[in-house]
Amino acid sequence: MNCDEASEMIHPYLDGELDVVHSLEMDRHIAECAACSTAAQRIENLRTAVRDQAPRYTASNEFVERLRGAVDASLEVTPQPAMSARRTGWHSWAAAAAVIAIMAIGWSLMQANKGQSAANRLALEVYSSHMRSVMPEDGHLMDVVSTGQHTVKPWFAGKIDFSPRVEDFKDHGYPLAGGRLDVLDGRPAAVLVFRRGGHIINVFMQPEADFPGSSDERMIETYHGYHLCAWNDDALHYCAVSDLAQEGLEQFVALWQKQP
């Protein structure tokens, strides 16, 4: 990457909008280029100054009560005759639904940071990453597409600071499809992608990761119909996630653990 390319990506990079590969390239370039490092620092300093000086507002109890009252009132609108009644009712319900949705999202975000163990938060990151990867239009499932172990494993070299284990179980009905880089808990993770019929299995790997139930014995947990299975070996921590039936995912992990 040269400085011209870096200058075009510096704002998306600082905003966290780049994919993992380009983000890592920017990390390396900024570490090696004094001019781009200085430019990035200036932008960060400006953001810090604006953030520290900008006023912050917290919703008062009175405002929350008024908001609740508005929702209650919108649900109690008396219908008017003919077409106006249908329109009034529709808009009232739509407004109420929008307010409720906003309040629910805010509540969920507040609760996401409360009362959860590191393992549960990491499990939700894994689940979210899997869901994003399999989205039909905007998903990003693979950076390297190959069924060959000797193609996929070298692809990771120089992109992460550990050597991922790469397996292929096509003889057992779980063919390797490729791999990608991801980020879990702010650290790079290697991901292998396998297929089982129409199902996708993502296997996340990190040298140290507090996956739910992660131990030498595999453990299955379920999130919104998706199964997560975590296990360790001497070098890496793993978490496989899929909408495959639990028995199918357990069979896949058993195959993995039988390999040397």
pLDDT tens figures, 210-240: 676 555 455 677 877 788 888 888 788 899 9
Query: What number is the average pLDDT over the span 64-76?
Result: 69
pLDDT, the chain, mean = 76
What CATH number does the domain containing 132 carry? 3.30.200.100
Query: Which sign, positive or negative, has the C-alpha torsion 73, 79, 84, 87?
Result: positive
pLDDT at 52 over 70: no
Given the DSSP bridges, would you call strands 199-206 and 237-242 parallel, antiparallel or unpaired?
antiparallel
- Are 192 and 134 contained in the same domain? yes
Least confidently predicted of 12-21, 84-93, 121-130, 200-209 = 84-93
- Are 147 and 251 contained in the same domain? yes
C-alpha 29/C-alpha 7 separation (Å) is: 11
C-alpha 193/C-alpha 187 separation (Å) is: 19
Among 42-56, 91-105, 113-127, 192-206, the range of highest mean pLDDT? 192-206
pLDDT at 162 over 80: yes
Q: pLDDT-based confidence at 127, cuts 50/70/90?
A: confident
pLDDT at 133 over 80: yes
**Residue range(s) defining the domain that contains residue 177:** 118-258
Q: What is the count of structural domains for the chain?
A: 3
223 touches 129 (CB < 8 A): no
| Top-confidence residue, 161 or 90 | 161
C-alpha distances in angstroms, 256 versus 35, 182, 212, 231, 260?
Answer: 46, 21, 18, 10, 9
127 touches 168 (CB < 8 A): no
What share of the chain has pLDDT > 90, as a percent? 25
Report pLDDT for 14.
78
C-alpha 22/C-alpha 12 separation (Å) is: 10
Closest Cα to residue 79, out of 95, 94, 91? Answer: 91
- Are 122 and 168 contained in the same domain? yes
**Which DSSP letter does residue 157 get?**
B
pLDDT at 91 over 80: no
Report pLDDT for 240.
93
What is the rounded end-to-end Cα distance, in angstroms, of the chain? 38
Residue 203: CA count within 13 A, CB half-sphere:
26
- Are 203 and 86 contained in the same domain? no
CA 97 to chain centre: 27
